[in-house]
Amino acid sequence: MPSFDISSKVDLQTLDNAINVVKKEVDNRYDFKGSHVQVELNKKELSLSLETDSDMQMRQLEDILLTKSMRQGIEANAFDLSGELAASGKHIRKTVKVKNGIDRDTAKKIVKLIKDSKLKVEAAIMDDIIRVSSKKIDDLQAVIQLCKSGMLEIPLQFVNMKS
């Protein structure tokens, strides 16, 4: 029976490369010359620590992070930029979480989206992945298109296709 898995994972090496590109870009930009800008990746917690002098520089740093990450192949919605700004002395600090894995609520939303489509497929939640199986490969491809156009707030990968 043909099947595939829906997952949401960010490759740690690609993320590290994207952070290094962001650091190089910040070092070369004229508007960041002479100011305190720090970008650090916490690999255990999968979070980024951004630190700048002003709110405007923080927004520019977020924009650089998103554009350089997208060029490396990481989707923009993999970053949770909704964190609060924390002021400490002269600097503004922000923690950006990197979404990795499908949480339970999002998995239920994806399964509901698949079931509401009335396609003849079976979707099962297995830890942080969703396994979709069907008798026809065409139905599986329709599910992939449905998930891509489903306006979900996490990046999805469709892996482990078996026929």
User: In this structure, what CATH number is given to the domain that contains residue 137?
Assistant: 3.30.70.860
The band of 134, judged by pLDDT with boundaries at 50, 70 and 90, is confident
CA separation for the pair 79, 47 (Å, rounded): 9
Average pLDDT rounded to a whole number, residues 33-39: 90
What was the pLDDT predicted at 85?
Answer: 85
Average pLDDT rounded to a whole number, residues 145-163: 83
Helix axes of 104-116 and 137-148: crossing angle, nearest 10 degrees? 120
Give the count of domains, the chain: 2
The band of 47, judged by pLDDT with boundaries at 50, 70 and 90, is very high
Domain that holds residue 85: 12-98
List Cβ neighbours of 88 (8 Å cut-off, separation of 6 or more).
Answer: none
Yes or no: say if 26 and 19 are a contact pair by the CB < 8 Å rule. no
Average pLDDT rounded to a whole number, residues 73-101: 88
User: In this structure, what CATH number is given to the domain that contains residue 79?
Assistant: 3.30.70.990
27 plus 79 within the same structural domain: yes
The band of 148, judged by pLDDT with boundaries at 50, 70 and 90, is confident
pTM of the model: 0.83
What was the pLDDT predicted at 97?
Answer: 92
What was the pLDDT predicted at 21?
Answer: 94
